[in-house]
Each structure stands twice: as C-alpha cells, then as structure tokens.
Amino acid sequence: MTHTNTPRKYVIANWKMHGDLAHNQALLDRYVSQLSDLKGTQVVVCVPYPYLAQAQAKLQGTGIAWGAQNLAKNEDGPFTGEVSAQMLCDFGSQYVILGHSERATAYCESDENIAQKFMVAKKHGITPILCVGETLIEREAGVMELKVGKQLDAIIDLYGVEVFQNTIVSYEPIWAIGTGLAATPDQAKAMHLFIKGKLMQVNATHENSVKILYGGSVNPQNALQLFMVEHIDGGLVGKCSLNAQEFEGICQAAESCQE
C-alpha cells in the first residue's frame, strides 16, 4: 500500500484486547455509517486477530481500512500462537501496529525484534504503524529524544532510513497512554519535529510519505488542538475508539483541521 493520493490525516483505532462479536458489530456499523465519507482522513481499525474476518466483512468497500496489532517476525513454521503477515493479508489487513509499549513491556519485545517485524510487514505490503515513546522517568530525566532516537535507529541501522517510506510512526509517550493525561501540543510538536528530522535524511518526497501520528489519551476534547499542530498527521486512539460517539468526534476533528 502506498500513500499516493495520500490523505492528510489518519485516525487509527487501537481496540487492544477489547470487544466481542456483538459489540464489534454495533461499533463497526456506527463507524461505517458515520465515517465512510470523510474526505481528507483515512480511518483505520486495528482489531484483535480473531475479529479480522469480521472487520473485513463489515468494512470491505467502505473506505475504512483495518489491520492487526502485531505480527510474527517469521514467515511461517513451528511458532505456536504466532500469526504471520501472510495470514493478515488473507483477511485484507492493510495495516499493523508494531512495537506498542504494552507489548514491549509485557512480552519483552526488543527493538531488534520490532525492526524485523517492520520489514516483514513491508515485504507483504502491509503498512507498519511503528510505536515509539518514552516513560515518565525518561521524560523527567530529559532523555526522551535519546529513547525515541534509539527506537528508530534499531530499524535505520539494520535496513536504512529509506524503509520508512510509506510507513506510519506513532509517538506514544508511555505516561500518556490510558492515563487521561495527553502530551501538550508543544510537547508533541517537539517530538514530532525530532522524529521528522531523523527520518527526512533522504529527501522531501520521502519525508512526505512518512506519517507521524500522536497517541496517548486522545479524546474529542483535545483532538483538534493536537491535530492542528504542524507535523502531527493524526492520532492512534485507544479507549475512545471503543465508543462510537467519541471516536467520531476525534475523526471529525481530523477532518475539520484539513487545509
């Protein structure tokens, strides 16, 4: 998937480990009726693996895309419990969240593992949504750029900066996830500028093809203020993506701050 005719903003739902068939059905129905016709915003829903078929059945042909929250770094083989990129493709997934801090901490995912997964996703034409971000301790120590830089370097050192073409990076300060305490627009702007600076080492076209989202307690009240910030190309939304009305509010904010 490329970003030709690229939308100006992305709003991506990360359902995490929430939902069931009936709840998803109702939520996706609302997404489809309210969000299919946005002009400048690409809406994406990243669902738990078992619901990929449901997402595909509901969203195919609607303009809303879907994807997963992880994939295996191996192509196939004896890896009990893993799900491969090809399996995601079988269910029409165009996106995959990688390196989310909830996985990195709970399942000890190393930056190198995440880098490998990033390449596997690209190889299969799935757009990776790479999550990066610092802990509160790291922010208070003033080493947030070092931390995020190291996460990006894990990929750049192995595969070169060009692999970020047509990908998405989401800045998710760990202290802002699920806490109700979003980064301020100024904090987000500074980090987005830093990320952009690191990734635009190639050329301007490359710069435009990398989207940098913000994630961490995005809600309908703060979305517009965050999305108006230069270099913030949209949001990765956890809790508020489970509530149709709140998610719509966030998507409308993205839509209304288009030039």
The phi and psi torsions of 111 (rounded to 5 degrees) equal -60, -35
Q: Determine whether 230 is an active site residue.
A: no
Interface with ligand 13P by CB under 6 A: which range of 27-35, 119-127, 171-179, 222-230? 171-179
Collect all residues with Cβ–Cβ distance below 8 Å to 196 and sequence separation of at least 6: 207, 210, 212, 231
Q: How far apart are CA 13 and CA 1, in angstroms?
A: 19
Minimal distance, residue 217 CB to ligand 13P, in Å: 4
* Cα–Cα distance list, 104 to 16, 99, 110, 113 (Å): 14, 6, 7, 10
Q: How far apart are CA 233 and CA 196, in angstroms?
A: 11
Nearest CA to 19 out of 42, 39, 47, 55 is that of 47
Minimal distance, residue 170 CB to ligand 13P, in Å: 7
Minimal distance, residue 201 CB to ligand 13P, in Å: 26
**Position 236 contacts ligand 13P (CB under 6 A):** yes
Q: Of residues 84, 88, 238, 255, which one binds ligand 13P by CB under 6 A?
A: 238
- Candidate list 138, 172, 246, 255, residue with the active-site label: 172
Q: Determine whether 100 is an active site residue.
A: yes
Minimal distance, residue 75 CB to ligand 13P, in Å: 26
- Give the three-class secondary structure for 175: helix
**Position 237 contacts ligand 13P (CB under 6 A):** yes
Q: How far apart are CA 91 and CA 213, in angstroms?
A: 25
Q: Which CB atom, from 161 or from 167, has the smaller least distance to ligand 13P? A: 167
Q: How far apart are CA 253 and CA 124, in angstroms?
A: 32
Which residue sits closest to ligand 13P, CB atoms considered?
Answer: 238
**Position 70 contacts ligand 13P (CB under 6 A):** no
Please, which of residues 4-23 interact with ligand 13P by CB under 6 A? 14
Nearest CA to 214 out of 239, 193, 232, 238 is that of 232
**Position 126 contacts ligand 13P (CB under 6 A):** no
Minimal distance, residue 205 CB to ligand 13P, in Å: 28
**Position 215 contacts ligand 13P (CB under 6 A):** yes
In this structure, are residues 246 and 219 in contact, taking their beta carbons and an 8 Å threshold? yes
Q: Of residues 10, 239, 244, 257, which one binds ligand 13P by CB under 6 A?
A: 239
**Position 172 contacts ligand 13P (CB under 6 A):** yes
**Position 165 contacts ligand 13P (CB under 6 A):** no
Cβ neighbours around 236 below 10 Å, total? 26
Q: Which residues bind ligand 13P (CB under 6 A)?
A: 14, 100, 172, 177-178, 215-218, 236-240
- Residues tagged active-site: 100, 172
